[in-house]
Structure 1
């Protein structure tokens, strides 16, 4: 998936980018920075982890009663909203209508239950990136919510510790979601970070 992303950059004619990845996307962004550092002007890793055992782990007990995702469209949308409620940011209200609309688009675009399982397996298969992250010389911002139960905040702390010179932003009330109320704060923090990187590397 990291190589696929670089292939997309090639197709778009982009030589270097400010790369933002969230959750598994943060892990993919980390791999791109490790394997293709010349393509990454800065790395923003959000609610992600290093792959080190014992950090950034999920509290699966919260999802014990959720069951497997159903195949029926309406049932899947309802299941997805219930799952998002469990993982949501407790400091902010969840927009159930918007969550249902997104879940419906997922189904309509091409829902593949086995694909989700393969993605889940790719996470442990990648292994511990800690030592490789320590070799990075890419400006890095790590963002994580205090109340993340899908990827514990220890994963964000470990990422920031591993990458030399990384900035760490810990957000109160934020879980494994990006509530609309946080968009201005996160957008400002990311844009300030990118502006700083562009200024010092110009």
Structure 2
């Protein structure tokens, strides 16, 4: 099972307990850093794309696209000698997983797309407060970084579930100390925006697909999940009431059950 993480986020955000729960059911769980984050290759020589121009629909060259990041994932499977995998992606990771299903269908046994979207420009966009924490200025100061991460978690978590601030602080400390590299985030964001809509291509996907989304997601509104499920023939849709753009501990068992049922032989 290949787990693909989201924008600017390291592989360690896939919680160890979550991974062990999957492994306990017979899955060989693979998590990794996408390009430009964590301990993977950085693309600093490519510069920073003009994100605001991209958002405004202007033509801007981007260092790479989601198709390149999907090729990275397939390359990892090649090195590990994995012919096909159950691919689970969250947020940008869901977009990469969708792109794998489009361009490398034989490598994807099942697809699970969580809190993600199709890139359809006609869908509702992120709420202003979510965009603010996403596009806010980066800091190199550890204390400021931890404060920013907590602020972001409060915005993205959703109103229904309790936010464990101590847990947020601990994973933020681990990520900062492991490899904090904020320059990669705008390039990854450029890959998302620069890749356009996948809706038409997803209509040709024949891979068993599960779509999971929170009803209170402020960053990628639930319409993104609905559009993903609508675009892929036969896709199953699980909407979790009150979940934002995060995995509240209260809903993790439900998410695990859904993934395990979907990927069962």
Give the Cα separation in 2 of the matches to 1:44 and 1:52.
Answer: 19
How far off is 1:69 after superposition? 2.8
Give the Cα separation in 1 of the matches to 2:140 and 2:186.
Answer: 14
How far off is 1:54 after superposition? 2.4
SS at match of 1:100: helix
Residue matched to 1:20: 88
Q: 1:56 to 1:48 in 2, by over 3 A?
A: farther
The gaps in structure 2 that reach 5 residues or longer are 1-68
Aligned counterpart for 1:81 among listed residues 142, 150, 156: 150
Please provide the CA RMSD for this pair: 1.4
Note if 1:118 corresponds to 2:175: no
Give the Cα separation in 2 of the matches to 1:187 and 1:56.
Answer: 28
Residue matched to 1:41: 109
Identify the range of structure 1 (65-74 vs 185-194) with the bigger mean alpha-carbon deviation.
65-74
SS at match of 2:212: strand
Aligned counterpart for 1:130 among listed residues 195, 199, 203: 199
SS at match of 1:105: helix
Residue matched to 2:27: none
Note if 1:179 corresponds to 2:238: no
Give the Cα separation in 2 of the matches to 1:8 and 1:63.
Answer: 31
Give the Cα separation in 2 of the matches to 1:64 and 1:2.
Answer: 27
TM-score of the aligned structures, taking structure 2 as reference length: 0.71
Superposed CA deviations along residues 117-175 of structure 1, whole A, max 9, x for unmatched, are: 11111111111000100000000000000000000000000000000000000110100
Give the Cα separation in 2 of the matches to 1:12 and 1:60.
Answer: 41
Give the structure with the higher percent helix.
1
Aligned counterpart for 1:94 among listed residues 131, 151, 163: 163
Aligned counterpart for 1:109 among listed residues 170, 178, 181: 178
Superposed CA deviations along residues 18-67 of structure 1, whole A, max 9, x for unmatched, are: 11000000000000111100000100000000000022521124554894
Residue matched to 1:141: 210
Moved over 3 A (4+): 61-67
TM-score of the aligned structures, taking structure 1 as reference length: 0.93
Residue matched to 2:30: none
The gaps in structure 1 that reach 5 residues or longer are none
Q: 1:186 to 1:54 in 2, by over 3 A?
A: same
User: How many residues are aligned here?
Assistant: 196
